[in-house]
Structure formats: C-alpha cells, structure tokens
A and B are shown apart, each in its own frame.
Chain A
C-alpha cells in the first residue's frame, strides 16, 4: 500500500486542522477503544482506565505526538517510526489485531470532532495512513 500525493496532502491538512487538540483526541480514542473493545485493556493492567484518567490523558498525548511525527515524515515512515517499531516488537509485543482497533477509534474520534473535513476522500487517506503506521510498528515482530 502506497500513499499517493493526494493521500499525503489529506493527512497533512488533517493534522493542521487537529492543531493543539492532538492529546485530547488521542486520549478520547484510547477511551473509546477501552470501552468498545475491553480486550485492549489487557495491555494496561497498571492503568486507571476510567473516564478522565490522568494516565490515559498522558498516554493519549504520547500516541498523538507519535502520529504527528509520522504525519511530518510521510516519505519515510520506517525511518521516523524506527524506535517505536523496536519498542513494539521487543518490549510491548502488542498483538497486531489491536492496531486496527485503535486506528478505528482514532477515525471515530476525528469524524466526531471534524465531520465537515472528514470527507470520504480524506477518510480513505487517513485509513491508509493509519494502516501504514500499523504495518511499520509491527514490521520487526518476527
């Protein structure tokens, strides 16, 4: 799967639109994921996952910052995400199915807050972007 120039423009304009709300949306996506897909909580036994949790907020910011970084390096996702890729392969070992769940909840969150900008074309590009990020993050698993 390759991101076309149009896909890249869609991703960049989305991240411009997100502005300073990244951390907030990251936390919301995590909350949506934990609520809709309780199995994902198994990776966070040490977390308070209740609404408003400071830990979820902090983790949401981490996820958002990583995605913003990826959005800024669309021509070299493997390079930009190399350290995170190592982390997920050797330390976190999150089963690959879960990346789809978080990606879905990120899309639900973005659609929720920016329905006008979330056109079908932008939606398709974002889905491809998140799938590409997920592929990179699981690329060193074996």
Chain B
C-alpha cells in the first residue's frame, strides 16, 4: 500500500486547490491523444480527432478530461486508501472499457507535465515527486481489479 507523508499530502493539496478541472483535465486528455495517437482507440465516438487543433478543441475531449480529473479529486480525498476508493472504477475499466493499464501511466505522466507547464516555479522537484507518487498510486489502484 502506498503511504504518503504529511509533506507529500500538503504538496499535493497546495497545487490541487488551484487546478481548474476543465482546463487542466481537457488539456491533459487532449495531449494524451496528440502525443500518443494510439490512445484514440478508446474514443471512436468522440467525433473529430483528425488534427492536434481538432483534438484540443473537441468539446467531448474537454468534457471527458474534466470527468477524469474530477475523479483524481476523489483520489486526493482518499490518499491512504486508493485501492478501495478506485475498486469500482477499476472493474469498469477492465470489464466494460477494456483499457490496458499502461494507459493509466501515460495519462498520469501527462497530468504531471501539464501541471508543470501551468504552475512553473511552484512545481518544484519535491512537488513533482509527490504528484508522481500519487499518479502511480492511482494507476496501480485502477489496475488492481483486473483479471
């Protein structure tokens, strides 16, 4: 089980308080679909993903990015218990969505990069490390129920 120190929790919360879920969520998902185009395989019904501009401006990408990031907010409220918090979503991603867990790692790293771009100096190596630990914990929790 992942254990977060008080400093790590504080580092995560400090940045999270300033995150605009739609903006950061949309950007994160949009960049995932742009930088790793094969991830588009899960989003055939999202309409126009034919160019970077189309992806980043696609309203369904933005809405889904917001949904995913809102879920991260739940992670932050349950940092000591990620596996239980994400049990249902884990089953969903395996049984219904059929998403390779490798994608959770890709999305997590994409979130870290987007936050680095948004928060600049504030996103110090220590803050990044706390977030890397969180995204790794979420990725692990989301793959926990796979069979």
Partner-binding segment picked from A11-19, A60-68, A80-88, A115-123: A115-123
Interface residue ranges of B108-133 to A (CB < 8 Å): 109, 112-114, 116-118, 120-121, 123, 125-126, 128-129, 132-133
Number of contact residues on B: which range applies?
A: 20 to 34
**A77 touches B (CB below 8 Å):** no
> Number of residues in A with C-beta < 8 Å to the partner?
22
- Do A32 and B34 touch (CB < 8 A)? no
Question: Whole-angstrom distance between the alpha carbons of A111 and B113 in the complex?
Answer: 7
A contacts with B: majority SS:
helix
Q: Which residue of B31, B120, B133 contacts A123 across the interface (Cβ within 8 Å)? A: B31
Q: Which residue of A35, A37, A51, A111 is within 8 Å of B116 (Cβ)?
A: A111
Q: Are B116 and A120 in contact, CB atoms less than 8 angstroms apart?
A: no
- Is A55 an interface position by the 8 A CB rule? no
What's the nearest-Cβ distance from chain A to residue B132, in Å? 4
Indicate if the CB atoms of B120 and A112 lie closer than 8 Å.
yes
> Which B residues fall within an 8 A CB radius of A?
30-31, 34-35, 52, 55-56, 109, 112-114, 116-118, 120-121, 123, 125-126, 128-129, 132-133
**Among all A-B residue pairs, the 3 with the closest Cβ atoms:** A111-B117, A115-B117, A35-B125
